[in-house]
Chain A
Amino acid sequence: MTVTDEVSTGSTGGPREVGSARRRKEDQRLITGRTKWTDNIQLPGMLHIAMVRSPFAHARITHIDTSAAKSAPNVVTVLTGQEVSEEQGVLANAWPITPDQVAPVHPPIAVDRVTFAGEVVAVVVARSAAEARDAAELVDVDYDELPAALDLKEAAEDKVLAHPDLGTNKSALWVFDSAEAGTGGAVDEAIDKARTDGIVLEREYRQQRLIPAFMEPRSVVVDPTGEQITMWSATQIPHILRYLLAATTGVSESKIRVIAPDVGGGFGGKLQSTPEEWITFLAARRTGRPVKYTETRSESLMAAHHGRDQWQRLTLAATKDGTVTGLKVDLLADLGSYVSLVGGGVPVLGAFMFNAIYKFPAYQFKVQTVLTNKAWTDAYRGAGRPEATFAIERLMDELAHELGVDPLEIREKNWIKHEEFPFTTVAGLEYDTGNYEQATAEAKRIFGYDELRAEQQRRREANDPVQLGIGVSTFTEMCGLAPSRVLGQLSYGAGGWEHASVRMLPTGKVEVITGASAHGQGHETAWSQIVADRLGVAFEDVEVLHGDTQISHKGLDTYGSRSLVVGGEALVKAADKVIEKARPIAAHLLEASVDDLEFKDGSFGVRGTDKGIAMADLAAAAFTGHNLPDGVEPTLDSDATYDPVNFSYPHGTHLCAVEIDTETGGLTMRKYTAVDDVGTIVNPLIVEGQLHGGLVQGIAQALFEEAVYDDSGTLVSASFVDYLVPTAADTISFDLGTSVTPSTTNSLGTKGVGEAGTIASTPAVVNAVVDALRPFGVSDVRMPCTPERIWKAIHTGGGTEPTEKDAMPHFDENDVADRTDGASA
């Protein structure tokens, strides 16, 4: 990977840290086992929790007998929802997407009704985890089973109610229409026109339910001794968690300290305020003792939030030559049984991305969120944007197929040209920079696109039983969540700024405090690189602190590829303030005018002389305060809170080649090339790592993973035996390339990289699968594309499901004459 010259490095002219492949600072303790996972914490007199969870998807709790459990050895207390209903607080939804959103109250411990299999009904607190688990077996719960709303489409018809008292399963209908918003034309007109004189594609796609499956199970410890109640939690969001604990339990925010120690992955799955956290908080306050809860993997898969789970109904209109003229999107999104923290906001985050990199003149998006009796859903890597990217990238392939042209050709015909930036899209976003031509050319080169297409042709002609498929995805995403004003317009409950502090220690070391909360991203390393450049100090001399609300008192945490784009900019601003604070002190000590000073390589020099003073000496001077100019504060420490002005828009071209054994349905991935433009690269090693991991998660959605419920609402895939997180043997090594157009929305020029791989790869893989099977008349394979589904698709000839028919009634049942038939092509 390379970095362009446009990188801004502040005032230093020395060798740049930004752009260099620094090995990570955080590795040392992680590779030697000197780690601080929440579950490691042991405190004097600490108690342990085991949860009693509902085996039913929907049931009334008629009676709970806790007497046997209470008298079991070393059990301290057993809590039920009834007993604690007044004091347990509630779990909040921070993003009511419409003013009339229907949302059930979410108590941490179910009070009189359970709404999904896995919901907590009682809590055993004992002196050891084993004793708590043993006693949990003794809690006797009587249930009256109720009919459960399980299937998303049926739930949307209110046949069975997930919450009978609400009267409906429909939570909210959120609509964006470009004609109403003034950002484009009327989509129905575009579709009508295309019906008579163009191409209309109607498709229905399924986004299966996924599980984030971070490797560290969630764990929480609460210590109520001392002035503050301290919670350690395996969370992505210590700051938001603290706020919500205070807001819903009545404990003053200033009496709560939340610490996210080492956190073993999140991927959106730890962007939540959880029943388990509230319960542990409650148990600690009730008993006055430190309490720990660590979930088992089965509990994690069953009760930690899931992701995706949508039906997507799509209509794309185009002229006869393949110029897109309109896109209509209709989603059903499964919330599960409660509206989670972000909840319906997840599909709404996708609303602005279906039009992707293409110049649609008209666009309409609707999402109906629906309550069911399954685990709640929320953010999972990409959150809304993978769903959007999948839909549009599948459709662009269908359009290419319809016209008989190369899928890259149809994309190029419709995408925003590099000279057209900044470009305001039909969804109302302003894309600042990008170069789709460059990324695509580079990807084709690395991949050997033309050669592979020629090979595909040869194999098709030879009727080779092993067919080659080539999949394309030219994606963009919106990162850097988010401008607070935009969040306000969307009724989100908080802002999108980030905070940073730089403390200049008297010994010349630098402490950086960030409101972002890393859990594997490498912030310590990247933040050190940024500060080293900015202040001209050594990389090794920078210490990055985060994830403890008593140290990092202000922040909005880590998700949505926001940490570097928003948090990094806050850091740049704080560092620049340090330089400005140091300037009058330097002038005073050098007996020069401030105007004659220049800051370079970590020192102030007097222009035209060899006089100078280093930042470390200025920090020491501020510390002693012996000789400062009149009226100057004795400190260089600085803070900045930065609210982004725009999102950032990473993009890239991903190409995937798969080989499919048409006799068995077996699939082998042969090659995967990704050329991403994530703006300025601070650390290429970290960027590549984020891409690799992201790619495998996206590929896993395409090929392996699905959270499956049986007819009674029990999660079948509740262990790693059944939920197929890919192993090293399931994956390949990737070919990555870079194309850089620095973002103009922040001074480093970064765009964000955390979610790119996941967002782009799913459609690239499915497009490759479908491409391999086109000669068999296949136009779709539902995810995950298992060998069985592939085999069936080949042998039933045609899409595995006739998606066009499913999509049709949603739009215009009377007019089917001009429909192009992708399914039987």
Chain B
Amino acid sequence: MTRINVTVDGASYSDDVEPRMLLVQYLRERLGKTGTVIGCDTSNCGACTVHLDGTSVKSCNVLAVQADGHEVTTVEGLATDGELHPVQQAFHENHALQCGFCTPGMIMQSIDLLKENADPSEEEIRLGLEGNLCRCTGYHNIVKAVQAAAGGSR
């Protein structure tokens, strides 16, 4: 067991974790942050995407101990004072989700994408989301939502 100190969605936690525990397992099982989900075992689907110190990572690809001393943001920490993040709002407005299982990862990745490139082309959006799989939407409305969020923040 190793002791870690992490900030998740603004709250600080101190826990003893097994060295092999993945960050996504820590978030889900220890902190009850079940908004972040697991869709694969090969780091392909992106469903588990969160921000580590403001940059998107696949949390199934990071050990909980590696988050020690860092700040994690999940989809549950995006809305402030009941106000949705613009990307969350854009997903809703553009019907960019159906079952919603990929959605937390997609939103986190989209925010990161827009941080890197505030005015992406359709192609840049598609390439930027390549590591996140969605089986429901065919990506059409996800791309539209990211475009809308980019337009809105301009």
Decide if A and B are genuine partners: yes
CB closest residue in chain A, given B82: A32
State in angstroms the CA–CA spacing of A685 and B38 once bound together.
28
State in angstroms the CA–CA spacing of A509 and B99 once bound together.
26
B138 at the interface (CB under 8 A from A): yes
Judging by beta carbons under 8 Å apart, are A728 and B142 in contact? yes
Given A32-B88, A216-B39, A264-B101, does the pair A689, B135 have CB atoms closer than 8 Å?
no
B36 at the interface (CB under 8 A from A): yes
Chain B, 28-48, CB within 8 A of any chain A CB: 28-29, 33-42, 44-45, 47
A721 at the interface (CB under 8 A from B): yes
Residues on the A chain within 8 Å of B20, using CB: 130
State in angstroms the CA–CA spacing of A488 and B88 once bound together.
47
* Contact mask for chain A residues 499-532; partner B; CB cutoff 8 A; 1 contact, 0 none: 0000000000000000000011110000000000
User: Which one, A24, A130, A727, A728, contacts B92 given CB within 8 A?
Assistant: A24
Sorted nearest first, the 3 A-B pairs with minimum C-beta distance are A33-B35, A520-B99, A30-B100
A370 at the interface (CB under 8 A from B): no
Given A35-B35, A733-B140, does the pair A215, B104 have CB atoms closer than 8 Å?
no
A596 at the interface (CB under 8 A from B): no
B91 at the interface (CB under 8 A from A): yes
Judging by beta carbons under 8 Å apart, are B39 and A28 in contact? no
A771 to chain B, nearest CB (A): 23
State in angstroms the CA–CA spacing of A96 and B25 once bound together.
43
Q: Classify the secondary structure of B's interface with A.
A: loop
Residues on the A chain within 8 Å of B38, using CB: 39, 217
User: Which one, B34, B93, B133, contacts A215 given CB within 8 A?
Assistant: B133
Given A32-B79, A215-B47, does the pair A693, B101 have CB atoms closer than 8 Å?
no
**Residue positions of B touching A, CB distance < 8 A:** 18, 20, 28-29, 33-42, 44-45, 47, 74-76, 78-79, 84, 88, 91-93, 95, 97-104, 107, 122, 125-127, 129-144
A–B complex contacts, Cβ < 8 Å, 7 sampled: A216-B99, A263-B99, A264-B99, A692-B140, A727-B132, A728-B130, A734-B138
Given A215-B133, A520-B98, does the pair A721, B127 have CB atoms closer than 8 Å?
no
Judging by beta carbons under 8 Å apart, are B103 and A693 in contact? no
Judging by beta carbons under 8 Å apart, are B133 and A727 in contact? yes
Residue in A28, A215, A694 whose Cβ sees the most chain B Cβ within 10 Å: A215
- How many chain A residues touch B (Cβ–Cβ < 8 Å)? 55
Judging by beta carbons under 8 Å apart, are A689 and B75 in contact? no
Residues on the A chain within 8 Å of B99, using CB: 214-216, 262-265, 519-520
Judging by beta carbons under 8 Å apart, are A719 and B126 in contact? no
Judging by beta carbons under 8 Å apart, are B92 and A27 in contact? yes
Residues on the B chain within 8 Å of A217, using CB: 38-39
Residues on the B chain within 8 Å of A720, using CB: 40, 42, 44-45, 133
Given A297-B41, A297-B45, A733-B140, does the pair A23, B95 have CB atoms closer than 8 Å?
yes
Judging by beta carbons under 8 Å apart, are B88 and A689 in contact? no
Residues on the B chain within 8 Å of A35, using CB: 34-35, 37, 100
Residues on the A chain within 8 Å of B139, using CB: 692, 696, 727-728, 731
Judging by beta carbons under 8 Å apart, are A267 and B135 in contact? yes
* Contact mask for chain A residues 545-570; partner B; CB cutoff 8 A; 1 contact, 0 none: 00000000000000000000000000
* Contact mask for chain A residues 741-775; partner B; CB cutoff 8 A; 1 contact, 0 none: 00000000000000001000000000000000000
Judging by beta carbons under 8 Å apart, are A731 and B97 in contact? no
Residues on the B chain within 8 Å of A264, using CB: 37, 99-101
B58 to chain A, nearest CB (A): 12
Residues on the B chain within 8 Å of A31, using CB: 75, 84, 88, 91-92, 97, 100, 103, 107
State in angstroms the CA–CA spacing of A416 and B20 once bound together.
63
Residues on the B chain within 8 Å of A734, using CB: 138, 140
Judging by beta carbons under 8 Å apart, are B76 and A297 in contact? no
Judging by beta carbons under 8 Å apart, are A693 and B137 in contact? yes
A731 to chain B, nearest CB (A): 5
Given A24-B95, A298-B41, A720-B133, does the pair A728, B33 have CB atoms closer than 8 Å?
no
State in angstroms the CA–CA spacing of A733 and B96 once bound together.
13
A729 at the interface (CB under 8 A from B): yes
Judging by beta carbons under 8 Å apart, are B143 and A733 in contact? yes
Residues on the B chain within 8 Å of A709, using CB: none
State in angstroms the CA–CA spacing of A130 and B18 once bound together.
11
A296 at the interface (CB under 8 A from B): yes
Residue in A30, A213, A685, A696 whose Cβ sees the most chain B Cβ within 10 Å: A30
**Residue positions of A touching B, CB distance < 8 A:** 23-24, 26-28, 30-35, 37, 39-40, 42, 130, 213-217, 262-265, 267, 296-298, 519-522, 685-686, 688-690, 692-697, 719-721, 725, 727-729, 731, 733-734, 757
CB closest residue in chain A, given B105: A215
Judging by beta carbons under 8 Å apart, are B135 and A725 in contact? yes
Judging by beta carbons under 8 Å apart, are B41 and A296 in contact? yes
Q: A34-B35, A520-B99, A520-B100 are in contact. List 6 more A-B contacts (CB 8 A).
A: A30-B97, A31-B97, A216-B99, A216-B101, A688-B141, A692-B139
User: Which one, A39, A130, A214, A695, contacts B135 given CB within 8 A?
Assistant: A214
Judging by beta carbons under 8 Å apart, are A521 and B98 in contact? yes
State in angstroms the CA–CA spacing of A721 and B98 once bound together.
24
CB closest residue in chain B, given A28: B92
State in angstroms the CA–CA spacing of A690 and B143 once bound together.
16
Judging by beta carbons under 8 Å apart, are A265 and B101 in contact? yes
Judging by beta carbons under 8 Å apart, are A689 and B98 in contact? yes
State in angstroms the CA–CA spacing of A694 and B98 once bound together.
12
B44 to chain A, nearest CB (A): 4
State in angstroms the CA–CA spacing of A358 and B79 once bound together.
54
Residues on the A chain within 8 Å of B144, using CB: 733
Residues on the B chain within 8 Å of A265, using CB: 98-99, 101, 135-136
Residue in B34, B88, B131 whose Cβ sees the most chain A Cβ within 10 Å: B34
Judging by beta carbons under 8 Å apart, are A27 and B97 in contact? yes
State in angstroms the CA–CA spacing of A42 and B28 once bound together.
10
Judging by beta carbons under 8 Å apart, are A721 and B136 in contact? no
Judging by beta carbons under 8 Å apart, are B91 and A27 in contact? yes
Judging by beta carbons under 8 Å apart, are A33 and B98 in contact? no
State in angstroms the CA–CA spacing of A728 and B125 once bound together.
8
A720 to chain B, nearest CB (A): 4
Judging by beta carbons under 8 Å apart, are B133 and A33 in contact? no
B82 to chain A, nearest CB (A): 10
Judging by beta carbons under 8 Å apart, are B95 and A40 in contact? no
Judging by beta carbons under 8 Å apart, are B133 and A725 in contact? yes
Judging by beta carbons under 8 Å apart, are A719 and B100 in contact? no
State in angstroms the CA–CA spacing of A685 and B96 once bound together.
10
Judging by beta carbons under 8 Å apart, are B135 and A33 in contact? no
A563 to chain B, nearest CB (A): 13
CB closest residue in chain B, given A725: B133
Judging by beta carbons under 8 Å apart, are A215 and B136 in contact? yes
A99 to chain B, nearest CB (A): 38
State in angstroms the CA–CA spacing of A37 and B107 once bound together.
18
B126 to chain A, nearest CB (A): 4
CB closest residue in chain B, given A216: B101
State in angstroms the CA–CA spacing of A697 and B137 once bound together.
10
Judging by beta carbons under 8 Å apart, are B126 and A728 in contact? yes
State in angstroms the CA–CA spacing of A697 and B138 once bound together.
8
Residues on the B chain within 8 Å of A24, using CB: 92, 95
Judging by beta carbons under 8 Å apart, are B136 and A520 in contact? yes
Judging by beta carbons under 8 Å apart, are B137 and A297 in contact? no
Judging by beta carbons under 8 Å apart, are B141 and A689 in contact? yes
Judging by beta carbons under 8 Å apart, are B75 and A32 in contact? yes
Judging by beta carbons under 8 Å apart, are A23 and B100 in contact? no
State in angstroms the CA–CA spacing of A32 and B34 once bound together.
11
State in angstroms the CA–CA spacing of A229 and B65 once bound together.
38
Judging by beta carbons under 8 Å apart, are B92 and A213 in contact? no
Residue in B34, B35, B131, B140 whose Cβ sees the most chain A Cβ within 10 Å: B140
